Each structure stands twice: as structure tokens, then as C-alpha cells.
Amino acid sequence: MEGPRASGGRAMTGRSGKGHRDENFPVASKLLRPEHRAPIMAFYRFARVADDIADAADLSPSEKLHKLGELRRGLDGDGAPEAVALARTMAERGIDPIHAHELLDAFTQDVTVRRYADWDSLIGYCRLSAMPVGRFVLDVHGEDRATWPLSDALCAALQVINHLQDCAKDYRALDRIYIPADMLAASGAEAEDLALTAATPALRDAIVATAARTRTLLEVSAPFAGGIRDRRLAAEVAIIQRLAESLTARLLTRDPLSERVHHRTVEAVLLAGGAALGQLFARRRR
């Protein structure tokens, strides 16, 4: 249920070449039913284009906003082809286009906002950049909207995890800092610390504080998979939850400036398999 993630700056005309298999968490995996994967991929392609525009190194802010505006117009049927295709899919499925519009709001914010004062403002950004992705997936599956709060917590956690893993890249390439400013100040860290090859003790304290708040989000989202009716989607959510818990644990003990945090393929496969089987057995016991 993850949306596209910035790759830390790109020398291209608004396109990264990145695909759904390059994301840190599963996107429309083959666990899902084919009829559900298609609309999710339409949403992903739309989001990928918007993300690439917002992060393009060779576009000015005004050019980025113009291109994002073209995507917005596409949602009304006359603009960027990825947006037109998504609009058609949403109309066929009876899905509220608010999720796509909110995601565009987030990418517009990426063009104009580079710092977040506190945790609440960061979660406010996640409300636009991450939560609509999960809500769209749930709507595609016809799930009860009562599951939204748990989905929101998981999606926000995924977004913050991605930002913490890539905190140095985001700063060096895009001059963006997603670690809340008050957490940096409380630890005595400076923004410029993110340009170093290894985190200072103060920066590590700020990263750990942000990861700890993220772990709290994952504690909230822990029952999410168990409340999903579609067993295939439940398995994918269980996998994402487990991967997120593992990455958060690493961020609490590893320095993302100098140490590997991302899972290697074998690690991810083992974690995913255990989570999916655990979810399957839990359902059989009910």
C-alpha cells in the first residue's frame, strides 16, 4: 500500500524510470486478485509520474507546478495520459477521485515546502502523501471505511520510514528535511549534519526519536490485516506491516547515513513469507 518514493534527485526531464518493483514495499503484488491489481497499477503510474515531476532536478518550481497542473486537468479528462487513464478507471469503479487529488496536493507541497516544524505537521503531510494510497486500495477492494484509521497509521509509518532511510539523499539532492525541526532542535542537531558521511550523536538522537514515533504508528496499525475481509489483501498488508516493523527496528539501531537499512532481497522474502503464513494461520483459527 505504498506510494512512490523519491529517489534523492534525478537528472532527467521529470521521469526517473523507476517502476513498482523498485519500491521499498510491495505495490499491487501478485497476491492480489488480477481485477484489483489493474486499478491499483493505474493509480501507481499516475503517482509515479507526479513524484518524478516533483523531484526532477532539471525542472524549475514553476515548471513542476505546471506539469502537476496538467495531471490535475487529466483527472477531469483533459491532460496527462496517466491521469486520464486513472480518471477512467475511477469512474468505471465508482471510486471517489479525492484520493488522487489529495496525492497531487502532496506533490505540490513537495515543490514548495522543504521543512516540517513538528510531528503533527509531518503527519499532516502524510495525510496527503501516503494515506490516500491506502484508502484507494481499500476502496478498490470494497473494504469497509471503518478500516481507514488503521490504514492511515500504516501508510504514514511507511512514508516516515522511507524518509528516514533516505534522509541524507533528500537533503543533499533536494534540500528537503522530513525529520521534524523540533526533534532536531531538541537533540542539538543541525540540518547540515545530514550532509555528513555518518550521523553525529545529536542527529542519531533525532532519527531515533522520529523512528520511535513511527513505531507507535505501527502499534496502532498492527490489527489492520486482521480486519480486512479480502484474504489476499490481508496477506499483503500483513507483509507490509512486518517489513515496516523490521525497518523501524533497524532505524532505531542503525545509522542511515553510513549503514544499510534497506532489506536485501532474501531478507525481505523471508520476512514476507513468515508474515503471510502467520496471517493465513490466524484466519484459519477463527
Question: pLDDT tens digits, residue range 145-201?
Answer: 999 999 999 999 999 999 999 999 999 999 999 999 999 999 999 999 999 999 999
**Would you say residue 5 lies in a domain?**
no
Integer CA distances (angstroms), 266 to 48, 218, 225, 262, 270, in order: 26, 23, 23, 12, 6
Q: What is the mean pLDDT of the chain?
A: 90
**Would you say residue 81 lies in a domain?**
yes
Q: Is the pLDDT of residue 111 over 60?
A: yes
Percent of the chain topping pLDDT 90: 80
Confidence of residue 20 (pLDDT cuts 50, 70, 90): very low
What's the domain count of the chain? 1
Q: Is the pLDDT of residue 240 over 80?
A: yes
CATH number, position 270: 1.10.600.10
* Contact between 269 and 228 (Cβ < 8 Å): no
Q: Is the pLDDT of residue 217 over 90?
A: yes
Question: Which structural domain range is residue 215 located in?
Answer: 20-284
DSSP code at position 3: P
**Would you say residue 239 lies in a domain?**
yes
Residue given cell 515543490 in the structure block = 111
Grid cell for residue 207:
532519527
Q: Is the pLDDT of residue 241 over 60?
A: yes
**Would you say residue 63 lies in a domain?**
yes
Burial of 41 from C-beta contacts in 10 A (0-12 / 13-18 / 19+): middle
pLDDT at 19: 44
Confidence of residue 13 (pLDDT cuts 50, 70, 90): very low
